[in-house]
A and B are shown apart, each in its own frame.
Chain A
Amino acid sequence: DIQMTQSPSSLSASVGDRVTITCRASQSITRYLNWYQQKPGKAPQLLIYAASSLQSGVPSRFTGFGSGTNFSLTISSLQPEDFASYFCQQSYIAPRTFGQGTKLEIK
């Protein structure tokens, strides 16, 4: 199975900050990388697919980058509704695997 490693596991930041979350795959997955946001008590929601394509309705302050084994998710200016958990997921091969998540908290 492909292992997905996210960092950091938690992050404290303020409204207006720029933050970056990274995700590393244990082997090359080219651009088969998706990002999801999850709020407490809710199901994950797709933010970015194919490493850098923004899902419809997702604000442009979210940016995905990377290919091969190294990927990142950047939020350019944090808004109150962005404080949540974020997960990466590879769709290169089955079984689909996820990162362990990054919890973004208000400082």
Chain B
Amino acid sequence: QVQLQQSGPGLVKPSQTLSLTCAISGDSVSSNDAAWNWIRQSPSRGLEWLGRTYYRSHWYNDYAVSVESRITINADTSKNQFSLQLNSVTPEDTAVYYCVKEKTGHYDWLDPWGQGTLVTVSS
């Protein structure tokens, strides 16, 4: 079955860049019926979709308007993984970050989820 393993630091200083990676096993980041998402969760914002990358003859990205000026999601086909970079972080970016596979087709759903990474933005 598909498994997602997240890695990256749990503490980031304000104004710096948050970087997380999600390694995929049991599927391909280039799959034509999947999209690879980053979602975060905090008590104040709940579950917030940040963006996704997917391959359909070429690579596409969708980003949430709230972070689109600061976010980059990239796929690395050589390592079968995808990554999140969020620039210029503030304490409001403190949250648990999840990488998630979205099965796409006639109907779409989010499964599975990575284990989550608590990222704290603090000096």
Q: Interface of A with B (CB < 8 Å)? A: 31-32, 34, 36, 42-46, 49-50, 53, 55, 87, 89, 91, 94-98, 100-101
Contact = CB atoms under 8 A, between A and B. Distances in A.
Chain B binding surface, main DSSP class? strand
Chain A binding surface, main DSSP class? loop
A46 B2 CA distance: 14
A44 B47 contact: yes
Interface of B: 37, 39, 46-49, 52, 62, 64-65, 98, 102, 107-116
Given A50-B107, A91-B107, A98-B46, A45 B113 contact: yes
The listed residue with most B CB atoms (<10 A of its CB), out of A34, A44, A91, is: A44
Contacts of A98: 46-49
Nearest to A91: B108
B116 A95 contact: no
